[in-house]
Amino acid sequence: MKKLLSCVLGFALLTSAVFAMGGSDNNAAASSNGPVTITWWEFPNFGGEGDFERNLIAAFEAKNPGIKVNFEMISYADGPAKITTAIASNTAPDFTYDAPGRVIAWGNDGILAPLDDVVGMEKANLAAGPLAASKGADGKFYMYPVHSGGFMMAFNKEMLEDLGLLDMLPYKTADRTWTLKQYEDLLKALKEKLPAGKVPAVFYAKSQGGDQGTRAFMVNLYGNAPLMNKDLTKYTFNNANAVKNAQWLQNAVKEGWMMNGSALQAGDAIDMYCSSNAASTILYSLQLERINESKINYNGKKFTSIFMPFPNDAGNPVLEFIVGGTCVFNNGDEAKIMAAKKLAHFIATDPEWAPKVIEATGLFPVSSKIKVQLKTDEQKWNANAVKFFGAFYNTVPSFTEMRTYWFPAMQALLNGQDAQKTLDTFVTQSNNIK
């Protein structure tokens, strides 16, 4: 036991020394048999087919010749299942860049190496919300938060302009806040003026993917309909305002202001928006726009997205937000863990590449030390939308199972089932999660 403790302490001191140098220790990660090789499985966080990541790796390896990084791109569709299978067979990658929903679950399951030593060096410069979202149930950091941004609504500016409806969108005000009536009036006008086959908006509910858009939509509207209580210990989305919001949705579908998307996934709805078959989307972000850039088309040209908070009659719109960052799998090889931590540190702090990483996501840095250029009004507004960020549910222990109850409840609402009973069932199921 003493010998094991001595080895762990020695490794911790070595790791601390390597990072404290602020540069590269070319031999620290190398074994007696040559460079340490780590594997990075990557979701398409930066768009493209992996060219950005390969260039980043080349720069990292140039500064850290004692480390070699093998890279593999995985998709959002089957990547999570692939990682789950790899974990079960003890063949997990050493490193990935992902979001807290999965990362913190892995950390809580003991699959990841804590990153307190790496995060600790920059903690004072990291935004509180994303930092809190990066902790496991034991209070340790299992993700190094790098980028952040809100999920919100978006509207096709050129389409609204051509229909003579652009002035109905209060996008020229500082905060762009608006009421449910303003939103409803715009949807009604869109329904009247849109050509056949096009819809004002889509409320999708086929699966849990992208459910953050539907959740944020539903807790706003009349306002004061939070998903959970303030300390995130109890689900509360069946109060009077939540029921009113649900009934409004049911009426909007009945009237044709919103399309019944109970058979559509989030990606289907976003595709409809990008192809101009829907005038708006209830789930969008600068990162999603970057990922879907090749699909954006209105009359043969790329259109401009106007980002908006959700309508909220209480005047206090709430957005769910994304945090992206790195994590290191604990595969039992301390040299690989240290090498992967150096890659995490490089991505977050390298003077040249840290800003490039943020720009590639299309979102905003968690670290106050990283500066990016904001070129458009939409980027500037998104950067200030942090004021609307609400609670971060993704790391609540019951979150994963709650999502399995959310989308069936939304399907039930879309298909006309009683709003109060549907939300009561959802809340009961969610609060009974052990």
Per-residue pLDDT of the chain (434 residues; tens, 9 = 90+): 333 333 333 434 334 444 543 444 444 445 456 799 999 999 988 877 899 999 999 999 999 999 999 999 998 888 899 999 999 999 999 999 999 988 998 999 999 999 999 999 999 999 888 898 899 989 999 999 999 999 999 999 999 999 999 999 999 999 999 999 999 999 999 999 999 999 999 999 999 889 999 999 999 999 999 999 999 999 999 999 999 999 999 999 999 999 999 999 999 999 999 999 999 999 999 889 988 999 999 999 999 999 999 999 999 999 999 899 999 999 999 999 999 999 999 999 999 999 999 998 888 999 999 988 888 999 999 988 888 998 888 888 899 899 999 999 999 999 999 999 999 999 999 999 98
Q: Does 152-318+398-431 match 2-148+322-382 at the fold level?
A: yes
Q: Residue 222 and residue 314: Cα distance in Å, rounded?
A: 7
pLDDT at 211: 95
Q: Residue 18 and residue 429: Cα distance in Å, rounded?
A: 48
What CATH code would you report for 152-318+398-431?
3.40.190.10
pLDDT at 384: 87
pLDDT at 33: 66
pLDDT at 424: 98
pLDDT at 5: 38
By three-state DSSP, how is residue 135 classified? strand
Contacts of 362 (CB under 8 A, 6+ apart): 47, 149, 285, 286, 287, 289, 290
pLDDT at 10: 40
The Cα-based distances of 227 to 29, 164, 216, 423, 431 in angstroms read: 46, 36, 9, 11, 11
Q: Residue 183 and residue 201: Cα distance in Å, rounded?
A: 11
The number of angstroms, rounded, from the C-alpha of 384 to the middle of its chain's C-alpha atoms is 17
* Buried residues in 86-124 as b, exposed as e (16+ CB within 10 A): ebeeeebbbbbbbbbbbbbbbbbeebbbbbebbbebbee
Q: Which of 48, 18, 31, 39 is nearest to 356 (CA)?
A: 48
pLDDT at 137: 87
Between 100-108 and 79-88, two packed helices, what is the crossing angle to 10 degrees? 10
* Per-domain boundaries in the chain: 2-148+322-382, 152-318+398-431
**8 A C-beta contact, residue 323 and residue 333:** no
Residue 39 is encoded by which pair of tokens? 């594997």
Neighbours of 168 (CB within 10 A): 18
What CATH code would you report for 2-148+322-382?
3.40.190.10
By three-state DSSP, how is residue 89 classified? coil
Q: Residue 150 and residue 270: Cα distance in Å, rounded?
A: 16
